[in-house]
Amino acid sequence: MTCLAGKELERYDRQLRIFGVKSQEKLKNSKVTIVGLGGLGCALALYLTAAGVGFLRLVDKEKVELSNLNRQILHWTPDIGREKTLSALEKLKKLNPEITIETLNIEVNENNIHRIVEGSTLVLDALDNWKTRFLLNDECVKNKIPLIHAGVREFQGQVFVIKPGEGPCLRCLFPQPPKEEERIPVIGAVVALIAMIQAVEALKLLTGWGKSLIGTLLFYDGIIQNIERIKVRRNPNCPICGMRD
């Protein structure tokens, strides 16, 4: 017996042919939190909704601006001025009414970070600032929740999978926060490409299929169409994961 309804079997038919009903049930029973509904977060939410992740928590405090529209594919011209969480929710529920979506229209900080990640099977970093990324990393490691980081600048992007107890965390990769930029220059298509790699890694972790990028930084350069994989060691002196098993 399966917990999937007949229309779900039809909706997910093409991916069921790859990994079967059991993996689809794992997706249905998963709870994924996406922090940030910009370029990365919009694409992630779209494809994880389409894939049938049973519960999505979407976190963002901002409203849609005209300058968002070159890359934030869930936000359209009529949405300018609306909360990003509501703009995204509206489209995603039309795409797949079978899943549950929770929206948190809040700014991530030390007081609410536990509420944001609480109960998550997986957390996705779709942020654009390092202070909040490190806060998210620290809370996920503390609570042993897998986290997938991604970032984009110009024609380049990166993806890094963090699974507490099995590999390095974001602070092992970046002992010191990189320099912040208020308005990061990006190509929309590169943002989408990096988000899709992040989404594939999410589906692999949730279903148990394939080999994860745990301990490997994937770096993409769109100018020369090159992908580089860089091994990252766990720092034994890391203040967050160094003393954890």
SS (H, E, C) 40-107: HHHHHHHHHHHHCCCEEEEECCCECCHHHCCCCCCCCHHHCCCEHHHHHHHHHHHHCCCCEEEEECCC
Q: Report all structural domains of the chain as residue ranges with CATH numbers, in order of start.
A: 6-231 (3.40.50.720)
List Cβ neighbours of 200 (8 Å cut-off, separation of 6 or more).
none
Beta strand ranges found along 126-174 (DSSP E) = 147-153, 156-162
DSSP three-state, residue 1: coil
* pLDDT string in tens for the chain (245-residue length): 678 889 999 999 999 999 999 999 999 999 999 999 999 999 999 999 999 999 999 999 999 999 999 999 999 999 999 999 999 999 999 999 999 999 999 999 999 999 999 999 999 999 999 999 999 999 999 999 999 999 999 999 999 999 999 999 999 999 888 777 778 889 999 999 999 999 999 999 999 999 999 999 999 999 999 999 999 999 999 999 986 44
